Amino acid sequence: MKLKVYADRMSQPSRAILIFCKVNGIDFEEIHIELSKRQQLSPEFQAINPFKKVPAIVDGRFNLFESHAILIYIASAFPGVADHWYPADVSRKAKIHAVLDWHHLNLRRGAAGFVLNTVLAPLLGLPLNKEAAAEAEKVLTSSLSTIENIWLKGDGQYLLGGFRPSIADLSLVCEIMQLQLLDEKEHDRILGPHKKVQTWIASTRNATKPHFDEVHNVLYKLKLRLSLKQSSQADGERKSGIKGPIISKM
């Protein structure tokens, strides 16, 4: 029976797993769980993941959730995944675990909190929380500095000085990719100072092409819609002389 991946491409850890499976030629079925339709709350999906979140997988009678655990499982249980993704060597593996552990309370908290409170909230019918955005921005910029100065220290193009990407590179790059939803100026303000981070994102994208862009396409399209909405709003404001919040229904 094929591996089943329950995902919504609007979720960054879902994207990481889909790209990983595609790059490694895993024979899998993508099952779309549409978060905007709250499909993750169905009893059928709760039987797979009681936390009602994507991504999750079912492999035969085995179900699993938490994206890092899934990446490690697929890399370990499926033949043909190149060693650089999740090395057999205990010490190299340990360093990858350390990056993934760090991810949770740092980059994830910062990036997800910032994008939610600056872009996504109105699309989800939630109020924008300026204080939470400012708090998340601090965590995000400190996390980007840490990636630049600690995790990307070394000769290689990838985290931990590697010359080929690991599951940690893919997971963290997919997390950062959600910043694409910010408007151009905001995006450049946040990512601009981190040149090494930008090169590393480009390297990871390049090492996983064409799947990286194919899976991120949903994000690129939403970005385009947001920019169009923003310019037509700016246009309207110029005409009416009124400034108002961006309110959008997905």
| Interaction between residue 237 and its own copies (CB under 8 A) | no
Beta strand ranges found along 8-133 (DSSP E): 28-32, 56-59, 62-65
- Asked if 150 touches its own copies (CB under 8 A), the answer is yes
Distance CA 249, CA 88 (A): 47
Report DSSP state, residue 119: I
Q: How far is the CB of 182 from its own copies (least distance, A)?
A: 23
At its nearest, how many Å lie between its own copies and the CB of residue 29?
19
CA pseudo-torsion sign 136, 159, 167, 216: positive
The verdict on 134 binding its own copies (CB under 8 A) reads: no
Identity of the residue, 50 or 193, whose beta carbon is nearer to its own copies in the bound complex: 50
8 Å CB contact between 111 and 13? no
Task: Give the Cα separation of 142 and 78 in Å (integer).
Answer: 36
Q: Which helix (H) or strand (E) holds 19?
A: helix 12-23
The whole-angstrom separation of Cα 131 and Cα 107 is 18
Hey, what's the torsion of the CAs at 211, 216, 217, 219, to 10 degrees?
180
Q: Tell the smallest beta-carbon distance from residue 150 to its own copies (Å).
A: 5
Contact call for residue 76 and its own copies (CB under 8 A): yes
208 HSE (CA, 13 A, CB side): 31
108 makes contact with its own copies (CB under 8 A): yes
Site map for its own copies, 181-220, x if CB under 8 A?
----------------------------------------
Is position 47 an interface residue for its own copies (rule: CB under 8 A)? no
In the complex, minimum distance from the CB of residue 247 to its own copies, in angstroms, rounded to a whole number: 28
Closer residue to its own copies, CB minimum distance, 200 or 212: 200
Q: Which is nearer to its own copies, 77 or 224 (CB)?
A: 77
5: its two tokens:
């991946």
What is the number of residues in the chain?
250
Nearer to its own copies, 169 or 226 (CB): 169
* Residue 132 binds to its own copies (criterion: CB under 8 A): no
By CB under 8 A, the residues from 86 to 105 that bind its own copies are 90-91, 93-95, 97-98, 100-102, 104-105
Question: Interior CA angle at 156 toward 154 and 162, to 5°?
Answer: 95
What residues line the site for its own copies (CB under 8 A)? Answer: 50-51, 62, 64-70, 72-73, 76-77, 90-91, 93-95, 97-98, 100-102, 104-105, 108-109, 146, 150
